Structure 1
Amino acid sequence: MAHVLVTGSAGFIGGYLVQQLLADGHDVVGLDDYSKYGPVTRSYDRHPRYRLVEGDASDVTVVEELLRDRDHLIAGAALIGGISYFHTYPYDLLAANERIIASTCDAAIRAHRSGRLRKVTYISSSMVFESTDHWPSREGDQLAVPPPRSSYGFQKLATEYFARAAWDQYGLPYTIVRPFNCVGVGEIRALAQATCSSGTIKLAMSHVVSDLVQKIVKGQHPLRILGDGRQVRHYTYGGDLARGIVLAMEHESATNEDFNLSTAESTTVLDLAERIWSRLRPGVPFEVVNDPAFEHDVQKRIPDVSKARDLLGFTAGVSLDEMLDEVVPWVVGAVEAGRL
């Protein structure tokens, strides 16, 4: 059993991650300031091996204190959202996330020197490959292709530099994981979040599955999609990503390595939209209108998944249809209840 601190534990991926850690027998402390969604409840809140601390991951003192009896730190705290979110708040994302990662590393360096902390597992993003011109993206490509143009992608690349610099100067072991296009339940409207428009529909700035479901449930027809719909993504179930993150945390071969965590299945946005449409509007012709794409709407986000498979034994097992069978009804309920 490892003793793990998870920052950003109340977030979208964080919920899946804590659940996986507890299922695997670990003792978990979660840190979250509830700044995005406000207080949330989880099925494991009263689990005997789980404790939630409400606090700010950019506070070095708070993080360092929580690390005193921890073997591992999973650094997941960050401002994050769908594509509309990081186009609306480019400065806030950059500034807040830099403060969080700098403070997290400061605390982890001290805890590693004086305590039992063995390693930090950093949650990065597929957006570090934003500017690539060849696919699939392999670990190491982020250092060879031009840097990301979006402030979000640039900051996630900076997170990886923090990880390596803390090792180079202070000997703090690390693992970097890059989730690709998480799909799951639990995403709701952020507290301070502005809405965005799609035609006459007002949306929460959520990820693509939630956005599409919101528009269909609210009666949009034809369905409006960003760009031409040929954007390629690898939609990966939150539970699979959590399993991969925990494997990367535990595995001896993962020390000072980086991993793409993703399904191997490519899907276009147009195909995703049609699959969701068929679940919600069966028998109604599927028609789309193409809206202008966001500036940083990457055309292809395709990972090489062989390193995680070969070194960690990780493969994502949940198909897109299985994800949608679970997630679409959940999002419909969230829309009807006013949570999205």
Structure 2
Amino acid sequence: MKRILVTGGAGYIGSVLSKKLVEAGYDIVVLDALIYTGVGVDALQNHPRFRLIPGDIRDLDLLKTALTGVDCVVHLAALANDPSAELNPALTRQVNLEIYPALLNAAAATGVKRFLNMSSISVYGVSHNENLTEDDPVNPLTEYAVCKARSEAIVRASNRDDFTTVSLRCGTVCGWSPRMRFDLCTNTLTAYAIVNRKLAVWGGMQKRPQIHIGDVTNYLLALIEIDKEVGGKIFNAAGHNTSVREVAETIRAVMKGAVELEDGPAREDERSYTVSSEKISRELGLTPEFSIKDAVAGIVDAHQRGLWCNPDDVLYHNVKRMAAMEKAAAC
């Protein structure tokens, strides 16, 4: 496959993936609404194999233009995370769910051979099970998770012999990106530790799946070309089942003890769940190459190089940016 369309390709995951795809020799088309600016792909703008199409995924004419000559679609465009989704549920449903039939039909009609869909382990909702697998029932509890679960079903139903569809359920992503987010667990804690030299750990024994952005993008890169039978399948990409306290201890270790950990009583929400990535390892041979420590070290290094300063800037927080844009539009 030679030409790849990455929807949301200027975003947190997309900007890292776009760079890797260009470096791997692909022709890349990015369709992105640029809600968080195009800073994530600024370094690619003059590359002969990179094209940025600013625009809304719901613009079907623009979508068809972006699909011209494309062999594979990596669909990342979404209103990402629960707070952003709850801010405007109607818009969330349009972008995160209702666009899917038109997007899939347009892709298949223009000759796209493979469609990779970004999903989330949030589809499992609250669970007391250990090592949840793809065979466990989904129980989405938020607007964001409901859209992800329903979109998986649409993607799976669209699979056929000449149109391969796959969904990747990711854990919470962490690590440095040129379109950085500081509203994700490890990223938030690392930034707070750098700025304040202390971290409050309220209990912190609950575990959540977290995956390095390098592994997410490597998995997507592999799924573009992998010739094993993947059509209609869903794969967990949970990364590491890590507690908040373990993340905090990792941050302190990376910063060579220059962070004070403040203990406090456990919060009421100490839900803990783990997710298994055994299927993607067994069937496709894909396993994490990067650790939580690597994610922390990358963020620390970016700060030392002057790539970020104020982690509270609205551009680093999806819901803050969305709220600011809605407020501006209402004026």
Residue type of the partner of 1:140? Answer: D
2:130 counterpart of 1:135: yes
Which runs of structure 2 are paired with 1:239-254 in the superposition (5 Å)? 239-252=214-227, 253-254=229-230
**How far apart are residue 154 of structure 1 and its match?**
1.5
Are 1:117 and 2:109 an aligned pair?
Answer: no
For residues 271 and 8 of structure 2, the distance between their equivalents in structure 1, rounded to whole angstroms, comes to: 26
The aligned amino acid for 1:271 is E
Q: Secondary structure at the match of 2:223?
A: helix
Following TM superposition, by how much is the alpha carbon of 1:71 offset from its aligned partner in structure 2, in angstroms? 1.1
User: How far did 1:276 drift?
Assistant: 1.3
> 1:122-170: per-residue Cα shift (whole Å, max 9, x none)?
00011111233322111132xx24x2112221121122122124348x9
1:214 touches 1:335 (CA, 8 Å); kept in 2? no
Q: Once the 2 structures are TM-superposed, how far is the Cα of residue 285 of structure 1 from its aligned partner?
A: 4.5
Q: Is the 8 A contact 2:8 2:31 kept in 1?
A: yes
Any conservation in 2 of the 1:67–1:108 contact (CA below 8 Å)?
no
> How far apart are 1:257 and its partner, in Å?
1.1
Alpha-carbon offset, residue 10 of structure 1:
0.9
Q: Which residue of 2 aligns with 1:299?
A: 272
Residues in 2 aligned to 1:139 and 1:338: alpha-carbon distance in whole angstroms:
36
**Aligned with 2:51: secondary structure?**
strand
Q: Name which of 155, 176, 187 aligns with 1:210.
A: 187
The answer on 1:21 being equivalent to 2:21 is yes
Counterpart in 2 of 1:162? 154
Given the superposition, is the C-alpha separation of residues 133 and 95 from structure 1 closer, same or farther in structure 2, using an over 3 Å criterion? farther
Q: TM-score, normalised by structure 2?
A: 0.82
Matching residue within 248, 256, 259 for 2:232: 256
- The Cα offsets for residues 242-297 of structure 1, whole Å up to 9 and x where unpaired, read as 1101222322322211111233x432111101221344472564223357466xx8
In 1, Cα distance between equivalents of 2:264 and 2:179: 26
**Distance in 2 (alpha carbons) for counterparts of 1:23 and 1:293:** 46
Distance 1:279 1:93, change over 3 A: farther
Q: 1:153 and 1:338 mapped to 2: Cα distance?
A: 26
What is the Cα deviation at residue 175 of structure 1? 0.5
* Matched-pair identity in %: 23
Q: TM-score, normalised by structure 1?
A: 0.80
1:90 CA drift (Å): 1.2
After TM superposition, the structure 1 = structure 2 runs for residues 74-153 of structure 1, keeping only pairs within 5 Å, are 74-81=74-81, 86-87=82-83, 89-92=85-88, 95-113=91-109, 115-141=110-136, 144-145=137-138, 147-153=139-145
Q: Deviations over 1:78-101 (max 9, x none)?
A: 1114xxxx2465152563254354
* Structure 1 pair 97–75 and aligned structure 2 pair: CA distance change class (3 A): farther
1:336 Cα deviation from its structure 2 partner: 4.6
* Match in the other structure for 2:69: 69
| Structure 2 unaligned blocks of 5 or more | 317-331
Give SS of 1:140's match.
coil
- Tell me the C-alpha RMSD between the 2 structures: 2.9
Contact persistence 2:5–2:30 (CA under 8 A): yes
Aligned partners of 1:187 and 1:303: how far apart in 2?
Answer: 28
In structure 2, C-alpha distance between the alignment counterparts of 1:94 and 1:13, rounded to whole Å: 24
The verdict on how the C-alpha distance between 1:290 and 1:155 changes in structure 2, with shifts beyond 3 A counting, is farther
SS of match in other structure, 1:153: helix
2-structure distance, mates of 1:79, 1:293: 28
SS at match of 2:53: strand
- Tell me, which stretches of 5 or more residues in structure 1 are unaligned? 191-203
Of the three residues 194, 200, 203, the one matched with 1:228 is: 203
SS of alignment partner, residue 39 of structure 2: coil
Measured after TM superposition, the shift of residue 212 of structure 1 is 1.3
338 and 91 in structure 1: CA distance in 2 versus 1, 3 angstrom threshold: closer
